[in-house]
Chain A
Amino acid sequence: MKTLMKNGDWAVLAAGAVLVAWLFGALWGGGAANKVIIRAGGKLFAEVSLNRNRIFTVPGPIGVSIVTIQDHRVRVARDPGPRQYCVKQGWLSRAGEAAICLPNQVTVTLAGAKRLYDSLNY
């Protein structure tokens, strides 16, 4: 092993490892969320940090949705909508993730350091 790897080879290997680690951080880790945005009927209901555990009761046209923030994650714990899509989505923790309770017009969105797009069209 020692004769097969020269000093420069170790340097190249180390530089490669650093590059790979950096790529993981830059391309995968950019989604750390730090803020929760809750909207009701299109209007801002609350914009709070993800760091504090809280429970929000959000009123909508057909009832009350309950949004829970816990351990840097957020979920819709209860919703009066018939299909429960936003509840079934479970815990959200990455920037750009969203839960939308359409019948009750409540949305929960996670935001990170920089704003992400949902989709782009050309």
Chain B
Amino acid sequence: MTHSTINIATTPEDHHIAKLAALAIGLSLIDAAIPSPLPGVKPGLANIVTLLVLLRYGFNAAAWVSLLRVIAGSLLLGTFLTPTFAMSLCGAAASLLTLRFASLLPQRWFGPVSLSIFAAFAHMTGQITLAWLWLIPHAGIAYFIPVLSAAALLFGMVNGLAAAKWLASETETSDVSAPLASSP
């Protein structure tokens, strides 16, 4: 019996991104398990990972982690290529685009919390726009906007604080890769 294996040459960076994406996927599964009072109101815990990757490894790595998380997360949840997946992808794309520009803000004054709040609002705007253009083309969708934006502000702040806390604890300990490398 012969073993036929296909070897794809991978760089350490690929492994790193895969590990971080796995962490983000785990968090998005937890996210999906949390009951939501209203469709669209979710903590978005996986965005903590996106933020960390953005601040530590740059935009390209963050985009990879975020998009891998959306695709692999939807495969695990059984929503791949459904409207839920499209909403998720649209939200992730809008928030990445915003992060691209928000990360140009001076870091002296604007930390992870600002980035997280911007990303959360962009995520919500992207999803609302897609929902309005495609799924619910009715002006009544505007009634959801205040509640969704309040949730975006709250969870954006909480996720940003979590990311800031994590970054602060990492810079204290000299071994910077330890918390991420020990992730499942």
| A interface list, Cβ under 8 A from B | 1, 3-9, 12-13, 16-17, 19-20, 23-24, 27-28, 120
Contacts and interface: CB of A to CB of B under 8 A. Distances in A.
Contacts of B161: 1, 4-5
Contact of B153 (A8, A20, A28): A20
Interface residues of B, number: 27
A9 B111 contact: yes
A12 B146 contact: no
A9 B153 contact: no
Q: Is the interface of A mostly helix, strand, loop or mixed?
A: helix
Interface stretch (B30-38, B47-55, B61-69, B114-122): B114-122
16 contacts: A6-B108, A6-B109, A7-B109, A8-B110, A9-B109, A9-B113, A9-B114, A9-B160, A16-B156, A20-B149, A24-B146, A24-B150, A27-B143, A28-B143, A28-B146, A120-B139
Nearest to A29: B146
A12 B149 contact: no
A55 B106 CA distance: 64
B157 interface: yes
A86 B17 CA distance: 63
Nearest to B150: A20
A25 B113 CA distance: 25
Given A4-B111, A6-B111, A23-B149, A16 B143 contact: no
B109 A8 contact: yes
